[in-house]
Amino acid sequence: MCSLCGVLGANEHWADAAAREGVYTRNVDSVRRRRERADRVRLANRVLAVYGMRLSDWQGASFLLSTLTGKSEIVEDLGHLWPAAERLSGRLCDPLAPDFLARLGDDHG
Amino acid sequence: MVEHPPAFTPVTLLTGFLGSGKTTLLRRLLADPSLGDTAVIINELGEVGIDHLLVERLDDQMVLLNSGCLCCTVRGELAAAMRDLYSRRERGVLPPFRRLVIESTGLADPFPVLSTLKGDPVLRHHFRAAGVVTTVDAVNGLSQLDRHIESVRQAAIADVIVLTKTDLAEAATAARLVARLGAMNPSAPLVRAAEEPLDADALLRAGGSGWPRAIAEPTIATAAHGSVRAFSILVDEPLDWTAFGVWLTMLLNRHGAKILRVKGILALRGEERPVAVHGVQHLVHAPTHLSHWPDNDRRSRLVFIVEGIEPDLIRRSFQIFNRLSAPVAA
Q: Can you give the residue ranges of every domain in chain A?
A: 35-108
pLDDT score of A11: 65
pLDDT tens-digit series, residues B252-261? 999 998 998 8
What topology is assigned to B9-209 in CATH?
Rossmann fold (3.40.50)
Q: Where are the domain boundaries for CATH 3.30.1220.10 in chain B?
A: 223-324
**Do A25 and A17 meet the contact criterion of CB atoms below 8 Å apart?**
yes
Residue to substitute from B240, B247, B251, B254, interface A, most A β-carbons within 10 A: B254
For chain B, percent of residues with pLDDT exceeding 90 = 26
Architecture of domain B223-324 in this structure: 2-Layer Sandwich (3.30)
Whether pTM exceeds 0.90: no
Say if the Cβ atoms of B245 and A17 lie within 8 Å.
Answer: no
Choose the closest CB to A95 out of B124, B250, B289: B250
pLDDT score of B119: 77
pLDDT score of B29: 83
pLDDT score of B49: 65
pLDDT score of B312: 94
- For residue A7, the distance in angstroms to the closest alpha carbon of chain B comes to 10
Res. B218: pLDDT tops 50: no
Interface of A with B in 29-88 (CB under 8 A): 36, 39-40, 43-44, 46-47, 78-79, 81-83, 86
Residues of B with CB under 8 A from a CB of A: 118-119, 121, 124-125, 240-243, 245-247, 249-251, 253-255, 275, 277, 279, 284-289, 309, 313-314, 316-317, 320-321, 323-325
Can you tell me the mean pLDDT for B156-181? 90
B224 or A25, which is more confident? A25
pLDDT score of B80: 84
Res. B163: pLDDT tops 50: yes
Specify the 3-state DSSP secondary structure of A48.
helix
Average pLDDT, chain A: 88
Say if the Cβ atoms of A11 and B119 lie within 8 Å.
Answer: yes
pLDDT tens-digit series, residues B83-126? 888 998 999 888 888 889 888 776 666 677 777 777 788 888 88
Would you give the end-to-end CA distance of chain A in angstroms?
38
Average pLDDT, chain B: 82
Give the DSSP H/E element, type plus range, for residue A100: helix A98-108
Under the banding of pLDDT at 50, 70 and 90, the label for residue A93 is very high
Q: Write down the ipTM of this complex.
A: 0.91
- Taking alpha carbons only, the member of A80, A94, A16 closest to residue A50 is A94
B214 or B179, which is more confident? B179
